[in-house]
Copies of this chain bind each other. A is one copy, B any other.
């Protein structure tokens, strides 16, 4: 029987099509992730654009952050709003950086060693703290596009992006609103409640470390979608991660390896969903965000495509229950 499940945070319904369930092994990325190295590689040779780097004992960079060559948002523009009749336009003020995660031509983060992934996490932390000092920016997002179906370009270095914007994105607003509604009524963090319920049932848990848990969400948007949550409550990634960088690297490598091995190296995205920057003008509201929001990472293998029904309704259709995908990923040998 297909069923509709409600996302407990933002209230969006997802159709879990249990009867047309394809078996987990049937999901293989129909568009293979082909990567073509450009010559000369633009990520091996762009030291002049360096914003930040972590260096080894030999003085060579291990992780390097550079400005995007094709930024979606820019710092060099004056923030400006205007209209055309019924229509509204603002220019796209913000920051767009590329995190080059390895000096070698390794394409999938799953193949980096834990210490290298830990350096990437440290780079996010440092850049988030630095970007937060810009008074006109409200939000910073770190995310990865791996493979064609995830929007990734085909170049040899594993890498991710940081984008900071002058407005809070809609999806972040929805999550903050859902978390606040729960806290206002229960006086408890919604995500802390979810972690307790998931750990006690166990059926959607894929992996666990000392400080983190990885689950398949109850109402996923995509087959094999995962959420990595810190067990300890913190709204902000760059503050909450301090001291736990290596442990996050451990669970991230574990999850990405299970996806790579079990699903035959599919395209995927991951997205760090942290709280908006603490701005004085929002004062008291940030006090409530501190207690009711809980940072986390969404990991989205890209094995299915939204069709007309999903575009027309806003429903998502997930062709396999998350309990089955969790079981499948738990049993992958990595």
Contacts and interface: CB of A to CB of B under 8 A. Distances in A.
A198 to B, nearest CB: 10
B89 A4 contact: yes
Contact of A2 (B4, B6, B72): B72
Contacts of A150: 305, 307-308
A167 B269 CA distance: 31
A301 to B, nearest CB: 12
Interface string A115-156: 000000000000000000000000001011100111110000
A283 interface: no
Contacts of A90: 3-4
B2 A313 contact: no
A330 B302 CA distance: 34
Interface in A150-200: 150-152, 161, 163, 165, 167, 169-172, 174, 190, 193-194, 197
A273 interface: yes
A281 interface: no
A12 B171 CA distance: 11
Number of copies of chain A assembled together: 2
B314 A169 contact: yes
Contact of A167 (B13, B74, B85, B317): B13
A36 interface: no
Interface stretch (A15-23, A48-56, A251-259): A15-23
Interface string A289-332: 00000000010101011111111111101000000000000000
Given A171-B313, A194-B86, A271 B308 contact: yes
Given A2-B73, A87-B219, A141 B312 contact: yes
A209 interface: no
A1 interface: yes
A194 B84 CA distance: 11
Interface string A219-247: 10000000000000000000000000000
A88 to B, nearest CB: 4
A15 B92 contact: yes
A57 B73 CA distance: 60
A91 interface: yes
A61 interface: no
Interface hub of A12, A70, A190, A311 (most chain B Cβ within 10 A): A311
A169 B312 contact: yes
Contact of A152 (B172, B307, B313, B317): B307
Given A1-B91, A15-B73, A148-B305, 10 more contacts: A1-B92, A2-B73, A8-B87, A19-B70, A20-B70, A30-B148, A86-B193, A143-B308, A165-B313, A172-B313
24 contacts: A1-B77, A2-B91, A3-B89, A5-B89, A6-B87, A13-B170, A20-B72, A30-B148, A72-B317, A87-B219, A141-B309, A141-B313, A143-B309, A149-B305, A150-B305, A151-B304, A151-B307, A161-B309, A170-B315, A269-B311, A271-B308, A298-B311, A298-B312, A300-B308
